Structure 1
Amino acid sequence: MDHDQPTVLLSGDVRMPLLGFGTWQATGEAGYDAVLAALDAGYRHIDTATMYGNEAEVGRAVRESGLRREDVFITTKLPPQRVGRERETIEASLRALDLEYVDLWLVHWPPTSPADNIPVWREMLAARDENLARAVGVSNYSTAQIDELIQATEENPAVNQIRWGPYLYDRQRHAEHRDRGVVLEGYSPFKTTDLADPVLVRIAAAHGVSPAQVVLRWHIDHEIVVIPKSVTPERIRVNADIWGFSLTAEEMRDIDALAR
């Protein structure tokens, strides 16, 4: 990993960069170009999923970036309709990505039938134990659903990826993840936030950055993983340029207070 980028430690001694690049809706050649631009801009963490239909493009961009495999953290996800076909799905993902393993494999959404929760989680753990994924976790899970997995298997998900942003900030939910050793990863940081909010505009002006950069830095300073997405090279580059400033404790409190 690039040592100048902050990471968070997952179970199994796996380091996950706090800043990642989201690829939802980035398909075909545009998806390939976006991932290549992101790697060029300094991202070292790429988030994809079976249901995004772009694993092949992501894998090609990583290969053609010239970076070493071990220097790029790659996440993919199991879609709900593949419950009961977990092994087949991770093998198909690895073929599409042209990789021997992913760094993180997530259950994309809780299974439609609650009876499937534990069996799916056991299959995720089995894939990890067979080195098909270095770490496994979940996405869009409630704390109660996470507790069910932990109680049944004594294995906590490494990560829970959920919608997150200043307006969705929930101190208690963040603490519940920390208490269980589950890393909180936020998606849709801009879609859930008004970037014209006067608080964000004021803090951005104080640092000479954009409100979007402030939102990303707020995640990082909370040690919450964040995965902005864009297919515009300039915006991809600007979103990665958040290491030259950090937020004061007072600024963090002001942004936390935007929660609705």
Structure 2
Amino acid sequence: MVKEIREEILQKTAIPCMKLKLTDTKPSLFDSKVGGIGYVPRDAKIPEDSEGVQLRLLAQINCAEITLEDFPHQGLLQFWILNDDVSGLNFDDNTLQDTFRVLYFKEPDRTVTEEEVCGKMQDPSSEEEDYFPVRGCYGLAFSAGVDTISSGDYQFESRIKELVQQDYPEEAERLLENIDDFIDENGEDWGGGHKIGGYPGFTQWDPRGESDSHDVLLFQLDSDYHDSRDRILWGDCGIGNFFINRENLKNCDFRDVIYNWDCC
């Protein structure tokens, strides 16, 4: 019985998202990209941590390519992280924007050149070792999609219970004896992939809880193996994600964002 209704129940959790695919095109300073050189205003520095070490560009999104409600539809949204052995992850405070940074430029100055930005960069030889998850620089292709709730999302159990009790009240107790019966046995509902919006994927667990207000998946970057090489690798084939509160997102306020990544 559970298998018969599982897809029906999951479809009721569906929300829109933007699926992202890496491309081998050479993105400009103002294009969407993963890795590479990010836009930096003429009067600004490349983001640094509290010890003066520059962060590196994880990804840049040209928001004109986003069609989702509540997201900005112009400007550049950037994700920067520290190139250290934990890729800038703060285990004590995953919202502290020191070893990571989320920046938004509504109207970037298009007279800034890549050469100007490169001139602000510290000598990469000063970095003891390269732990950066992105190997190279890639463009991004966007496509509108739909996500159903992922089995690792902290809301999975409560949402499934709510829908089953609503649609099958007389049989709910029996149907919910084992909530794991609603997880795809092939693991296809785990939430992986590169995306904006939708539901997140984890190799460990969701860092959020029931009382957490970071209810929107702002950006997710998965490990990516293609043509016999790693293009993106988080630790041992992990996944990285950023979360934000919807009201803050609507206001283009990116000061309070969870940054998380995990691996097996």
Q: TM-score range by the shorter chain?
A: under 0.3
TM-score, with structure 2 as normaliser: 0.25
Higher share of residues assigned strand = 2
Larger Rg, first or second structure (1 or 2):
2
Higher relative contact order (CA 8 A, sep 6+): 2
Higher share of residues assigned helix = 1
TM-score, with structure 1 as normaliser: 0.25
